[in-house]
Amino acid sequence: MDRLAVVIPTLNAAATLPGTLEAVLAAPADPVETVVVDGGSRDATPELARAAGCRVVAAPRGRGGQLAAGAGATDAPWLLFLHADTRLQAGWRRAAVAFAARPANAERAGVFRLRFDDPSPAARRVEWLAERRGRWLGLPYGDQGLLISRAFYDSLGGFRPIPIMEDVDMVRRIGRRGLVTLPCDALTSPARYRGMGYGPRMAWNLVCLGSYFLGVPPRLVAKLYG
């Protein structure tokens, strides 16, 4: 695989970032460039990232803009966009290398299988629904990661500087046929779901998604999302 850069947007992520970085940095035999794009954290996030050997870039708060800034801070030919509370599981590097090796994937993007760090049946149901959403509608979310070639990313215009739904905006431009689910899990924090409850959180996510599709500005959707 050509050089890979992992881009991680952060905001007060000191509690989860170390686990995310450990999974990224421990897996490959060859070095992975890791770019942490901080949106103004008031905790130790930037210091933790630097201590782990990451490049830290400052950008205005807003995940879309942070992701775009991270992509612009590296010239790596492959990019992996990853949330700061998502831990890639064993085999992620092998799956990424296999994906990049196929010429047909030069204009496709890979996502990982969503898994919550929660043993409850409710978490399994949400994972099942997320898998169907991705397969049938072509709408995987950002907590599944996004592996994409630099050339394809640039041809799509990159991430747009919007505060929310930047992942939906991107995968809609990629298109359902251009998305491939990689044979590896992305273990994600269930904090938002536990706080509201899995059922209510899923319903509220659908309200936010529907509002975005109906043309509500992302800044107002972000306020709805909470």
Q: Which residues pair with 85 in a beta bridge?
A: none
pLDDT beneath 70: ranges in the chain: 27-30
pLDDT of residue 2: 77
Q: Which of 80, 27, 38, 42 lies closest to 60 in space, CA to CA?
A: 38
User: If phi over 0 gives left and psi between -120 and 50 gives alpha, with beta otherwise, what is residue 215?
Assistant: left
pLDDT of residue 28: 56
pLDDT of residue 33: 94
pLDDT of residue 26: 81
Cβ-count burial of 67 within 10 angstroms (0-12 exposed, 13-18 middle, 19+ buried)?
buried
**Domain ranges in the chain?**
4-225
> Looking at domain 4-225, which CATH architecture does it have?
Alpha-Beta Complex (3.90)
Q: Is 175:138 a contact under the CB 8 Å cutoff? A: yes
pLDDT of residue 29: 59
pLDDT of residue 134: 93
Residue type at position 46 = P
Rounded Cα distance, 58 and 70, in Å: 9
CA distances in angstroms from 180 to 5, 13, 100, 176, listed in the order given: 19, 28, 11, 9
Exposure class string for 132-151: b at 16+ Cβ within 10 A, else e: eebeeeebbbbbbbbbbbbe
Question: Own/partner pairs for 213-220, CB < 8 Å, 24+ apart?
Answer: 218/64, 218/162, 218/163, 218/164, 218/165, 218/166, 219/162, 219/163
Spell out the residues 6+ positions from residue 117 whose beta carbon is closer than 8 angstroms to its own.
Answer: 87, 187, 188, 189, 190
pLDDT of residue 226: 77
* pLDDT per residue as tens digits for the range 110-167: 999 999 999 999 999 999 999 999 999 999 999 999 999 999 999 999 999 999 999 9
Residue 5 main-chain phi, psi, to 5 deg: -115, 130
Indicate the pTM of the whole model: 0.95
CA distances in angstroms from 184 to 91, 110, 125, 163, listed in the order given: 6, 11, 18, 28
